[in-house]
Amino acid sequence: MHSEKIYLYIGPTAYNLPLDQLIPQYTEVLPPVRRGDIQHLIGLASPATIVIVDGTYHTFPAVSHVEIKNALTAGWQVWGLSSMGAIRAAEMHELGMKGYGMVYQRFIDDEDLPDDYVALVHSTEPPWFPVSEPLIHFECLLNEALRQSVITRKVHNILMHNLQNMWFGDRTITYLRKKSHELMNGGNQSFCAMLSRMEDFRLKTWDVVDFFHEQPFSNIRSQHGNQIN
């Protein structure tokens, strides 16, 4: 018997999102997942749906593969997307964890993609104010700027190289604006305009929006004929 309830682990990816308007009413919102949280949950509650978006990466040990496997074995539906969830889903999709979205697909397509592509520094409590920007967002922006010929291939490659080789907490819009200004001899109005619309390139956030609009977890429950409590 599978409960309708959803346990959603989310933090900075939901910043500025109207989360209450997106999620089903039977969703319990929990902070970014830490090691041991899943094991603790499955020891207390009946099998239901776990959705992992954000998780600790630097300040606390990350959620383990073992506890996710234990949840799957115990009959829980476990989804991962956007951030730590996407990483674990890409690593464990063959064991039954389900992945969703553009970020998840990025990790599926490139097994060597570093985990810090989705990492950022943020405040330690709600609303989880983001201090830096994940590299995967800047990659999306720079690829689009190159596609539109807003920047040259040379500038694109230099900026990506610099971003890839710095600590994730230093990847900020301020840094990218300053560095691009230096490389393009005083700046580029079109590129600055793209930077001012950074929300257009926040793939992690868009994956959450799309996930709850599509609600693929409901399709899985229907396919398996699970009884809803």
* pLDDT tens per residue, range 3-48: 899 999 999 999 999 999 999 999 999 999 999 999 999 999 999 9
Q: What is the pLDDT of residues 94-132, one digit of tens each?
A: 999 999 999 999 999 999 999 999 999 999 999 999 999
Given a contact cutoff of 8 angstroms between Cβ atoms, the answer to whether 67 and 35 are in contact is: yes
What are the angstrom distances between the C-alpha of 113 and each of 48, 63, 82, 180, 194? 31, 19, 14, 24, 25
Query: In the structure, what pLDDT confidence band is assigned to residue 227 with cuts at 50, 70 and 90?
Result: very low
Given a contact cutoff of 8 angstroms between Cβ atoms, the answer to whether 46 and 74 are in contact is: no
Q: What is the pLDDT of residues 40-94, one digit of tens each?
A: 999 999 999 999 999 998 788 999 999 999 999 999 999 999 999 999 999 999 9
DSSP 35: T
Q: Where are the chain's structural domains?
A: 6-125+204-223, 135-201
Q: Six-digit token pair at 168?
A: 């994730």
Separation between Cα atoms, residue 89 and residue 10, nearest integer Å: 15
What is the mean pLDDT of the segment spanning 178-199?
A: 92
Is the pTM for the entire model greater than 0.85? yes
Separation between Cα atoms, residue 207 and residue 112, nearest integer Å: 21
